[in-house]
Structures are given as structure tokens and as C-alpha cells.
Structure 1
Amino acid sequence: MKEVKVWKPSEEEMREAKKWPTWSKEESVFDWYYDEDEQFYVVEGVVEVTLEDGRKIQFGPGDMVKFPAGMRCTWHVKKPIFKHYRIG
């Protein structure tokens, strides 16, 4: 089973992540499919993601998150998100 990873990054991981492109989104609900692995560092916001099997994962400021390729889910952006991300 594919797993989403959420962790508190090291100082080095945060420094590297801050070099990645950024993305932001207002409060909203939308379906998403990851056709490639994606890793990101959350600067602001709170998101709850519902996975295909019904499990819920929540993340917010200071979290590093990794979604595997092939995962379908529904994002519920509870507080506007701003993140640095890397695909692949």
C-alpha cells in the first residue's frame, strides 16, 4: 500500500526546500491525483487530505510531506496553504 509521509524536517531539509518553487491555494476542496512523487514543505496553512481508503491525514506549518506517485485523494484546504514543492 502506498503511504503518505509527514515529518518535521531537519534544518538542512528546510534550507533545501526553501530553494524549491512555491504554490499557494485558498480555502477549498478538490480531488487530486499524483502522477509523480511529490514532496513539499508547508510554510502556512492547514490541510486535511482524505485518501482513497478513507484515511485522513492532516498537515500544517513546519511539516514536510511526501505523496507517492499513483495516489488519488481529496484535499480540504482549511486555512490557505503556502508551500515549497518538488516533483519527481
Structure 2
Amino acid sequence: MNIVIENNPSSRRLSDLGVMSWPKWSCQPGKYALVFEERETCYLVKGKVKVYLKGSSEFVEFGAGDLVTIPKGLSCTWDVSLFIDKHYKFDPPTSP
């Protein structure tokens, strides 16, 4: 699935990345079909989610305290079990 999860990164790592200055996004528990048009890096402040690859029963699970990188082009379903509150950033598009 190529989702990279860094469990409980240090406060120094988060500071070096500037995570707390990134925009925030949140959602209630439920299922959400998502397509990632750009690579996203996010840090979950709260919550828990299982991410299923489109058309698959395979999943990865992550939650509060995890730094996650989601590859560009991933089509998936987020099955959110606990309210999500996260900081996120998208990689800038590459020039042709």
C-alpha cells in the first residue's frame, strides 16, 4: 500500500518539519472514500483510522501520535473509528 507510518516521532522531528504550522483537518467517525491527488504527510493529534486500499480487504491502521505519509494517487477508504484531528501538508506539484 506504500503508506509510511512513523509511530510517535520526537518533538524535535515534528518541530523540524514544522508540523504545528500545517493546516488542520478533522472528521467524525464514518467511512470516507478518498483519492490522494498529491503525496500527503499528516500528523494525527487525535483519532484512529483503518485505511483500506480500493477494492481490497487489506488495511493499515494508525492513530494519535503517528506521522503518516500517503503516496500520490492512492485510492482508498478511510474507516474512522475515533474522531480525527490532524495537521497535514501536500507535496507541491512537480513541473513537467
> Please, what TM-score do these two structures have when normalized by structure 1?
0.91
Aligned-pair Cα RMSD in Å: 1.2
The residue correspondences of 1:3-82 to structure 2 (distance < 5 A) are 3-8=2-7, 9-15=9-15, 16-52=18-54, 53-82=56-85
Gaps of 5+ in 1: none
Query: Could you list the per-position Cα deviations for residues 31-88 of structure 1 after superposition, in whole angstroms to 9, with x for gaps in the alignment?
Result: 1001100000000001111013432011111000011111100001100000000011
Q: Larger Cα Rg: Structure 1 or Structure 2?
A: 2
Gaps of 5+ in 2: 92-96
> Please, what TM-score do these two structures have when normalized by structure 2?
0.84
Number of residue-to-residue matches in the alignment:
87
Distance 2:12 2:88 in 1: 15
